[in-house]
Structure 1
Amino acid sequence: MDNNQPKRLEGRSAAPYQFRYYDLVMAAFVAILLLSNIIGASKRSSLDLPLIGEWSFGAGVLFFPISYIIGDILTEVYGYARARRVIWTGFAALLFMAFMAWVVVALPPAEGWPFQSDYENVFGNSWRIVLASITAFWAGEFANSFILAKMKVWTAGKHLWMRTIGSTVVGQGLDSLIFYPLAFWGLAGWPPEQLWQVVVSQFAIKTLWEALLTPVTYVVIGKLKRAEGVEVYDTDTDFSPFAKSN
């Protein structure tokens, strides 16, 4: 037997296993999630494309898809149950970020401090944007992790590229379809035709990002599996988002 081959763990049998790098991957996931939501979520950008003309897209699309790639890595290496714990951690972090932003913006500024309006513009997201961001993240990430874990069992661990891209099509599709209409429908500066253009752009760019970074995903997953020494299959996992993770 090849001692370098990861040990296969089935579903719940992976729960008590002690992983070396799980916490670091979780930290990277939450950091990317928070930064992409703080910096780029509500900015609409545009490019003048040949043959197409001006095309609008959300600025956060440049970095937010990395969270889905890390989500793929979490599910593929550590299994759905541990990915579920990370998703809920990210969910809680988004809630706290929204609460902290609301408190900081609401605090009365000191006399003569000239940046209150700038603070409000950057951090004073409406309840709609906060609700849309958290809802889209929750639905998209759980769908992404569920599809990836199920496809791993169905394919007996083969065709990683098909599993990562396939899960992203579903997860990112839900994320884009939920976030932009829920956050910006009916607001000034967001005409319906441009809103749907942004939704389509988000979905296409996120999926393309996943495809382009597939070689990097392969390398990271391979190194982590060898370092952790396991191969997790969710054959008897409770896939409810609300199930207790061990």
Structure 2
Amino acid sequence: MPNEIIWIFFALTNFGFFLLSYKFFGRLGIFLWIVLSTILANIQVLTVVDLFGVEASLGNILYGTIFLATDVLNEIYSKREAKKAVFIGFSVMFVTVIIMQIAIQFKANENDWAMPYLKEIFGFLPIVFIASMLAFIVSQLVDVYIFSKIKDKLPDNKYLWIRNNGSTILSQFLDTVIFVPIAFYYKDFNSILILIFTTYFIKLIVAILDTPVIYLAKKIKPIEN
């Protein structure tokens, strides 16, 4: 099956689970989604795949839903709740890396098979962690700020797509130019430039795709709130 078909299905799956999380758990569900997405996206990003004729890191969809989540919090609840979510995600990154760095120091039993794989994934994570921490805190706070400012100027529901896309497109650009050069430091300069371009291109697609999702989120009445 082509990567593009899997990618579209993957995007719909992520958006669907996000909406279900919000439906069943309300604001808490959004916070839980951010925790889950932060951990999984930083693992997925280690893999580079070919999509639509370009090279891109795998974690873009799941990571993009974090921007969607903070936008939903900003839109439905408050800027304060959105900022709280950003710092929750930031804390999750930090704790995950510290715990896993200690965990992979154990000497595995001779019959164990998993430790080499854990070391391959999480042994590389500190570099990704540094890149993610910087990119995440800067881009997410910028996203919250821009969304809030646009909301102040254009508060009507018909301008929601401007708030969502305007804040996400700009903040995702910052995220990309911070993250890629650090996380993929071992690549040559031209490869890094190409990866910045292609990664941002995929993020733009995700930003456009999530526009209907934020409208759907506003129509949802959570069971728990």
TM score, norm. by length of structure 2:
0.81
Structure with more of its chain in strand, by fraction: 1
Match of 1:33 among 19, 31, 38: 38
How many Å separate the matches in 1 of 2:115 and 2:181?
A: 28
- For the residue of structure 2 that corresponds to 1:45, the secondary structure is strand
Query: Greater shift after overlay, 150-159 or 20-29?
Result: 20-29
How many Å separate the matches in 1 of 2:92 and 2:136?
A: 12
Q: CA-to-partner distance for each residue in 1:59-105, whole Å, 9 max, x for gaps?
A: 11132111111111011111111111111111111101011110111
How many Å separate the matches in 2 of 1:30 and 1:215?
A: 23
How many Å separate the matches in 2 of 1:213 and 1:150?
A: 20
Using a 3 Å threshold, how does the CA distance of structure 1 residues 162 and 109 change in structure 2: closer, same or farther?
Answer: same
Using a 3 Å threshold, how does the CA distance of structure 1 residues 34 and 115 change in structure 2: closer, same or farther?
Answer: closer
Match of 2:210 among 194, 210, 213: 213
- The answer (yes or no) to whether the contact 2:34–2:66 under 8 Å persists in 1 is yes
Using a 3 Å threshold, how does the CA distance of structure 1 residues 85 and 179 change in structure 2: closer, same or farther?
Answer: same
Using a 3 Å threshold, how does the CA distance of structure 1 residues 114 and 29 change in structure 2: closer, same or farther?
Answer: closer
How many Å separate the matches in 2 of 1:173 and 1:182?
A: 15
What is the match of residue 60 of structure 1? 59
In the TM superposition, residue 114 of structure 1 has moved relative to its aligned partner by 3.5
What is the match of residue 176 of structure 1? 176
Using a 3 Å threshold, how does the CA distance of structure 1 residues 206 and 47 change in structure 2: closer, same or farther?
Answer: closer
Matching residue's letter, 2:211: T
TM score, norm. by length of structure 1:
0.75
What is the match of residue 133 of structure 2? 134
Using a 3 Å threshold, how does the CA distance of structure 1 residues 29 and 47 change in structure 2: closer, same or farther?
Answer: closer
How many Å separate the matches in 2 of 1:84 and 1:155?
A: 20
Pair 1:42 & 2:46 matched: yes
What is the match of residue 240 of structure 1? none
What is the match of residue 76 of structure 1? 75
Pair 1:196 & 2:193 matched: yes
Matching residue's letter, 1:172: Q
- For the residue of structure 1 that corresponds to 2:103, the secondary structure is helix
How many Å separate the matches in 2 of 1:117 and 1:29?
A: 28
What is the match of residue 12 of structure 2? none
Structure with more of its chain in helix, by fraction: 2
How many Å separate the matches in 2 of 1:30 and 1:57?
A: 23
* CA root-mean-square deviation: 2.0
Higher radius of gyration, 1 or 2: 1
Matching residue's letter, 1:194: S
- The answer (yes or no) to whether the contact 2:97–2:125 under 8 Å persists in 1 is no
Aligned residue pairs: how many?
A: 199
In the TM superposition, residue 48 of structure 1 has moved relative to its aligned partner by 6.9
What is the match of residue 95 of structure 2? 96
How many Å separate the matches in 2 of 1:153 and 1:86?
A: 20
- For the residue of structure 2 that corresponds to 1:37, the secondary structure is helix
Matching residue's letter, 1:44: V
- The answer (yes or no) to whether the contact 1:57–1:197 under 8 Å persists in 2 is no
- The answer (yes or no) to whether the contact 1:56–1:194 under 8 Å persists in 2 is no
Pair 1:152 & 2:148 matched: no
| Structure 1: unaligned runs, 5 residues or longer | 1-19, 50-54, 229-246
- The answer (yes or no) to whether the contact 1:140–1:174 under 8 Å persists in 2 is yes
How many Å separate the matches in 2 of 1:127 and 1:223?
A: 38
Report which structure shows greater RCO (CA 8 Å, sep ≥6).
1
Using a 3 Å threshold, how does the CA distance of structure 1 residues 103 and 82 change in structure 2: closer, same or farther?
Answer: same
| Structure 2: unaligned runs, 5 residues or longer | 1-24
